[in-house]
């Protein structure tokens, strides 16, 4: 079975602030909500999702030589993730994300990248020499690491899956080799193309604009509560998601794309993979936090049975 995934991406400690509303510029707001520290980072959330959903995951990231770095790596080990290629950086702290969660479950995130920006090509060379079925990445790490990993995977004939989390318009898309799946959410799609995928027609416009920049077999646009739009290079199809009470949307996209990638590797069917991913994302938004909200394979399969 194909399920050995190398994740080259970010690890953060998340400071999650439950707030009534975000302050305006120059305003001080006293909030009676609560705050917690939860392991997060787009890459780590996806790596944990791979491990919990039945994948065999190797996670390459970089943390600082600090307490947060220690706590994160020991969590990955407890979850059965291979951490052999994670280095502790002496010059930069572990990544930190400040996440404001409003009553609606909607979030706003500021990431202090820290050691995530220091992933080196030496670590990538070592990880790429291992036995892997897929490479998976997002954009919270240094561009050099993304481009180098993609080049090595392509030379090795390993399929590449990219979630557009934290993408910025200045990314040199033309330097990427062919991808298997490229998956942005609505705001990432807008950041890259300048078009918001808020109607059938605009989803197709976004997919066509993206396919001029990124060579991918499938473009999968995450549409939050509306589900996802799958574009195969010629045609697009909406894949509706499931109704659930939204508690916190943090990590839903990371879990969705991990579920999509893993199930696609296992069955080769993008639409079945998208159903599995929608269920994974749905369960994630029904719970609080990043790593704490990601479901197991058993939970996803039980949920899919319950909605059939
Ligand atoms: O996608 C959610 C993640 O984005 C959070 O866990 C935070 O660390 C940021 O990377």
Q: What is the largest CA-CA distance in the chain?
A: 55
CB 19 within 8 A of CB 30: no
- Angstrom distance (rounded) from CA 153 to CA 159: 7
Contacts of 10 (CB under 8 A, 6+ apart): 41, 42, 43, 44, 61, 95, 111, 113, 116, 138, 140, 141, 166
pLDDT per residue, tens digit, the chain (308 aa), is 789 999 999 999 999 999 988 889 999 988 888 899 999 999 999 999 999 999 999 999 999 999 999 999 999 999 999 999 999 999 999 999 999 988 887 789 999 999 999 999 999 999 999 999 999 999 999 999 999 999 999 999 999 999 999 999 999 999 999 999 999 999 999 999 999 999 989 999 999 999 999 999 999 999 999 999 999 999 999 999 999 999 989 999 999 999 999 999 999 999 999 999 999 999 999 998 889 999 999 999 999 999 98
Give me ligand 1 centre to Cα 171, in Å. Answer: 19
pTM above 0.85, yes or no: yes
Give me ligand 1 centre to Cα 235, in Å. Answer: 31
Domains of the chain from N-terminus onward = 4-22+34-306 (3.40.1190.20)
The backbone torsions φ and ψ at residue 18, rounded to the nearest 5 degrees and listed phi first, read -85, 115
Query: Which SS3 state, helix, strand or coil, does residue 217 take?
Result: strand
- Residue owning the nearest CA to atom 1 of ligand 1: 251
Give me ligand 1 centre to Cα 257, in Å. Answer: 14
DSSP for 106-149, written as a single string: -EEEEEE-GGGGG--HHHHHHHHTS--SEEEE-SSS-HHHHHHH
Instruction: Judge if the beta carbon of residue 12 lies within 6 A of ligand 1.
Output: yes
Instruction: Judge if the beta carbon of residue 250 lies within 6 A of ligand 1.
Output: yes
pLDDT reported for residue 131: 96
- Residue owning the nearest CA to atom 6 of ligand 1: 40
Instruction: Judge if the beta carbon of residue 289 lies within 6 A of ligand 1.
Output: no
User: What's the angle, vertex CA 254, arms to CA 272 and CA 121, rounded to 5?
Assistant: 110
């Amino acid at each position: 079975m194909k399920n050995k995934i190398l994740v080259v991406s970010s690890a953060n400690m998340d400071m999650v602030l439950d707030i009534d509303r975000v302050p305006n510029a120059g305003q001080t707001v006293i909030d009676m909500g609560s705050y917690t520290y939860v392991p997060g980072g787009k890459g780590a959330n996806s790596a944990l999702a791979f491990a919990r959903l039945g994948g065999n995951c190797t996670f390459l990231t970089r943390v600082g030589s600090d307490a947060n770095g220690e706590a994160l790596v020991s969590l990955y080990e407890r979850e059965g993730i291979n951490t052999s290629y994670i280095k502790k950086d002496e010059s930069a702290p572990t990544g930190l994300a400040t996440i404001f969660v409003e009553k609606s479950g909607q979030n706003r995130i500021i990431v202090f990248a820290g050691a995530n920006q220091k992933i080196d090509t030496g670590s990538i060379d070592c990880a790429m020499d291992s036995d892997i079925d897929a490479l998976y990445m997002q954009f919270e790490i240094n561009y050099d690491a993304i481009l180098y990993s993609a080049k090595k995977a392509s030379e090795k004939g390993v399929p590449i899956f990219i979630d557009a989390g934290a993408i910025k318009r200045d990314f040199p898309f033309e330097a990427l080799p062919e991808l298997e799946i490229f998956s942005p959410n609505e705001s990432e799609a807008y950041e890259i193309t300048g078009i918001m995928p808020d109607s059938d027609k605009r989803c197709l416009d976004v997919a066509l604009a993206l396919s001029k920049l990124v060579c991918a077999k499938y473009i999968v646009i995450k549409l939050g509560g509306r589900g996802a739009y799958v574009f195969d290079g010629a045609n697009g199809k909406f894949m509706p998601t499931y109704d659930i009470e939204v508690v916190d949307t943090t990590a839903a996209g990371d879990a969705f794309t991990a579920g999509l990638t893993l199930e696609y590797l296992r069955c080769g069917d993008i639409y079945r993979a998208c159903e599995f991913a929608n269920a994974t994302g749905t369960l994630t938004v029904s719970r609080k936090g990043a790593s704490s909200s990601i479901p197991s394979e058993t939970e996803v399969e039980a949920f899919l049975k319950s909605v059939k």
